[in-house]
Amino acid sequence: MAALFLEVKNITKTFEGVKALNNVDMAIGRGEIHCLVGENGSGKSTLIKIIGGVHRPDSGTITINGAEIKNINTIESIRQGVQIIYQDLSLFPNMTVAENIAMNQMLESNSRVINWRRVRQEAKKALETIGEAIDLNERVENLSIARKQIVAISRALTQNAKLIIMDEATSAITRDEVEHLFEVIAKLRNKGIAVLFVSHKLNEVFEIAQRVTIIKDGKKIGVYPASELNNDKMVFLMTGQNFRAEPYRFAGGEPVLSVRGFAKAGQFSDISFDLRKGEILGITGLIGSGRTETALSLFGLNRPDAGEIRLNGKPVIIRFPQDAIAAGIAYLPEDRLTQGLFAEQSIGNNIVITVLDRLLNRLKVLARGKLETEKNAWVKKLAIKTLTHRVPASSLSGGNQQRVVIAKWLATRPAVFILDGPTIGIDIGSKYHIHEIIRDLARNGMSIIMISDEIPEILDNCNRVLVMAGGRIVKEIPDTSGVSEAEVLDLIGRKNSVTGAAV
């Protein structure tokens, strides 16, 4: 390993009597790509914030560039070359790309007059350092999440960053955008800039990491060369459990949902497929493939120009979500926080929102007893970890929030359940349990459509897969048993993020 840039030793931090970190060590070399992994609540975020000077440790030492930093704060951390890019990116949406990149330098100059020429020069220089070109005059609010990340990285470079910490950088971007981000990270490494990459997606950890630090319940489990780990070993080290999913054997059944000639100009065309009773059908593809747009059309949120839907052999017309629900179709959106939950409402209210009409008494007033029974039943059935359904949904972990959204739709008693990115932003243990819920639903006769760009998720759970590209179904994989991730990557034309060669 190259000479050390950062070393933390025996870091301990307690919040209200609870030890978030207990004698944790970590070391990162200059120009190293290091990954930090652990379940939700393991202490990852606390450790990051201590390195960044947001929190001060109760005990332990922080050494940067060979010098121990006492009483570290955010300003000192930045001066030492540490930059943290959080999930929200902390950009100013109403300002331009150039202004966001050069903002810190503008503030540090203490000048009463802004040198706009210098602002543009510094922004352009930072972008060129990582081989990127973005319109400097574009407002950041108009950029994709992936482009905003490039702006955030470029801003860090203007601060002479030597270590960039990326916290769940891939949780809200598509797989092809992830690959582009990894190319940028490789450029940072080649320039001697270290990256601490935090992610729940273990396949990404194997793809990008040189070494991996694993923490569990606030303690360091160990640090390992990525080449010495595999998925099963890492999961066990993170959770203390061996997750062995029972493969779901689909015995075949009659078509429940039939789609013929589905089309919408500029989004998708000639979409035709059958979904059988008890089947888990996967749909995957790159950004712009039309997968989510097709799902939204099936649920009445994106009216198609042409096509026919049949349920149990009978034609149905779906213009609005109410039509889909009445027909027995449910849809779990890919963004649970903004599309799936009323985060500040109670868990119970989120669950029953879709079935309030069923919980009325003879006077057409909500029956309190029925409400309580429904709420408690779904909390128990989906094992939502909470003392009471009366607390806000925002108080739950990502995995438990997803269980609430699933419960909300299962309460409608659907025959067809469309799940778009069902485990986005969820840790490995919760992901396993969500997959178990999905397989159990299929075993009990529900027909499932799972949309995901995580190929292992598709292959591990789906009986059959439709590959989409350019708004069309370009390939059907009739049986996923024995199919490799590389084969699916090849079908959708994805590139290897390091070499640029086709996988």
Model pLDDT for residues 442-482, shown as the tens digit of each residue: 999 999 999 998 888 999 999 999 999 999 999 999 999 88
d(CA 351, CA 221): 37
Sequence ranges of the domains in the chain: 4-239, 255-491
d(CA 363, CA 16): 49
**412-424 mean pLDDT:** 93
- Type of residue found at 140: V
| pLDDT of the residue at 368 | 80
d(CA 357, CA 345): 19
d(CA 76, CA 387): 41
Q: What are phi and psi of 297, to 5 degrees?
A: -65, -40
Sign of CA dihedral 193, 197, 201, 206: positive
Q: Across-strand partners of 257?
A: 275, 311
| pLDDT of the residue at 335 | 76
Contacts of 263 (CB under 8 A, 6+ apart): 269, 270, 271, 304, 305, 306, 307
| pLDDT of the residue at 197 | 95
Q: Is 314 left (phi over 0), alpha (psi -120 to 50) or beta?
A: beta
Token digits for 137?
Answer: 């005059």
d(CA 108, CA 115): 13
Query: Nearest-5° angle of CA 171, CA 248, CA 286?
Result: 35
Cβ neighbour number for residue 124 with a 10 Å cutoff: 18
Does CATH number 3.40.50.300 belong to domain 255-491? Answer: yes
d(CA 161, CA 154): 10
| pLDDT of the residue at 110 | 63
Cβ neighbour number for residue 375 with a 10 Å cutoff: 23
Q: 152-199: per-residue pLDDT in tens?
A: 999 999 988 999 999 988 877 777 788 899 999 999 999 999 999 998
| pLDDT of the residue at 499 | 28
Return the CATH architecture of domain 4-239. Answer: 3-Layer(aba) Sandwich (3.40)
Cβ neighbour number for residue 274 with a 10 Å cutoff: 16
d(CA 503, CA 495): 6
Q: 194-232: per-residue pLDDT in tens?
A: 999 998 888 889 999 999 999 999 999 999 999 999 988
d(CA 290, CA 196): 33
Q: Give 1's pLDDT tier (boundaries 50, 70, 90).
A: low
d(CA 202, CA 415): 33
The yes-or-no verdict on residue 345 having pLDDT over 80 is yes
